[in-house]
Amino acid sequence: MSRICVIGTGYVGLVTGACFADLGNTVVCLDVDETRINRLKSGIMPIYEPGLEQIVDQNVRHGRLSFTTDYPEALKNAEFAFIAVGTPSGVDGEADLQYVRQAAESIADLVEWPIIVVNKSTVPVGTGDWVAEVITRRRNGRPLDFNVVSNPEFLREGSAILDFMSPDRVVLGSLHREAAEKVARLYLSLRCPIMITDLRTAEMVKYASNAFLATRISFINEIANICEELGADVREVARGMGLDKRIGPSFLDAGLGWGGSCFPKDVKALAHMAVLHGTHPQLLQAVMDINRNQRRRVVVKLRRALGTLDQKVIGVLGLSFKPNTDDIREAPALEVIHLLENEGASVRAYDPQAMQAAASVLPRVRLCETAYEVAEGADGLLLATEWNEFKQLDFGIIRQTMRTPIIMDSRNLWDGEQLRAMGFTYFSIGRGSKTNGHTQG
């Protein structure tokens, strides 16, 4: 079993650390955020992620997993240093590598034994080479036996543990096959395909995968908008398409578009890389444009239904960028709320997990305790995130307490016919009326 240091204890670092510990390795998770580490030491998770607390707790108790802010302690005798720090968008959409640089420099300063540096953060193509240069430069002539391996992470928030433990594939890239094979051994017990390739190709697999998934979503959203005009139902269209094995059913849910900490920044960063190197990423630009418009369309629908949004009360259900996470980074709900507030609406909202995170970024929004409180007295009710608890709401109560019974189902969660029969004006995404031949939206 191996000794692993994981640098950065966010979604990726914490899940990686906990899962490698669970596979029997000794793992030290390091972060520069003292509050985060102190809380983790007391068993408090910094994020909401199903199954995480249990796996952390179990492995801490067995002595395989520990947390620290102390670099020397974390790196001591480590055979592998996984870099899992954030790579946020810089001013021009490029990936900001300052945290990766800090991590690489700390490794260069503190390690005096053979080590494999594994890049798990999503980093621009060429970063693996750059990390090796940063380390070599920092050593200033002092020799160090090290290799860099790219190991992009493909987990999704909300199912991160499951994704880590049962991945579709593990991708490893290195100029040194032996180093990549050593990292591959850490994953052997997962019994999944392991692809070993060169550094730059591995880095590109990550960007291309995220960009492709975002493209599928923008594609189906564009089809949804056409469906609305032509009287077709996008859910059925997606089902019919997905039955084709070459297409497959995943990532064809039309809605408010993609958000989260990765798709927006990664598509932007890939487009930036492309422009910088003289290519013209037209498709990526269109994918981003469609996504932006998708949020605007629901606001337009509400405005048209109400005549104006000024002084109207709009209730928003769901704030996290997707269900089963408390992450609100680039959440579609936040942008929609911003647009609604700009037009003079007063917004109230509820989310099963993201209320604490939302409180600091939504100062003007009234945060409610339940979905029913959100609906009470509202002129419109907008579903932004399809949490399970919103699937079976009592619309009888909601119908009685809303001031104007307008529903904007931006995730196609509810039965429109039933709601219309109850007296609601119901809008959804890409579900044109079959009887009229054209649009109910």
Binding site for ligand UGA (CB under 6 A): 122, 153-157, 210, 213, 217, 251-253, 255, 257-260, 262-263, 321-322
* Close Cβ partners of 114 (under 8 Å, ≥ 6 residues apart): 79, 145, 146
Positions in 78-107 near ligand NAD (CB under 6 A)? 84-87, 99, 102-103
**54 near 86, Cβ under 8 Å?**
no
Out of 4, 5, 6, 9, the only residue in the binding site for ligand NAD (CB under 6 A) is: 9
Closest approach of Cβ 31 to ligand UGA, in Å? 18
- SS in 3 state form for 323-380? CCCCCCCCCHHHHHHHHHHHCCCEEEEECCCCHHHHHHHCCCCEECCCHHHHHCCCCE
Structure tokens at 71: 């670099």
The β-bridge partners of 83 are: 7, 119
Nearest Cα to 171, choosing from 144, 204, 147, 213? 204
354 lines the binding site for ligand NAD (CB under 6 A): no
Q: How far is 37 from 20, CA to CA, in rounded Å?
A: 18
Considering the complex, what minimum distance in angstroms separates the CB of residue 247 from ligand UGA? 13
352 binding partner (options ligand NAD, ligand UGA, none; Cβ < 5 to 8 Å by kind): none
Restricting to residues 46-85, which ones interact with ligand NAD according to CB under 6 A? 84-85
The contact pattern for ligand NAD, residues 215-254, with x = CB under 6 A and - = no contact, is: ----------------------------------------
Beta carbon of residue 313, minimum distance to ligand NAD (angstroms, whole number): 34
Contact partner, 84, from ligand NAD, ligand UGA, none, Cβ < 5-8 Å per class: ligand NAD
Q: Residue 437, Cα to own-chain centre: how many angstroms?
A: 37
Cβ atoms of 5 and 75 closer than 8 Å:
yes
Q: Is 187 in the site for ligand NAD (CB under 6 A)?
A: no
Out of 5, 29, 227, 262, the active site residue is 262
Output the six-digit token pair for 349.
Answer: 């909202």
Residue nearest to ligand UGA (CB): 262
Kindly list the distances between the CA atom of residue 222 and the CA atoms of 197, 218, 337, 385, 436, in Å, as whole numbers in the listed order. 35, 6, 22, 19, 21
Query: Quick one: which of 6, 13, 317, 381 contacts ligand NAD (CB under 6 A)?
Result: 13
- Give min distance, CB of 278 to ligand UGA, in A: 26
262 in active site: yes
298 neighbors 336 (Cβ within 8 angstroms): yes
Nearer to ligand NAD, 90 or 231 (CB): 90
8 Å CB contact between 201 and 149: no
Question: What are the residues binding ligand NAD (CB under 6 A)?
Answer: 7-13, 30-33, 36, 84-87, 99, 102-103, 121-122, 153, 155, 157, 261-262
Catalytic residue ranges: 262
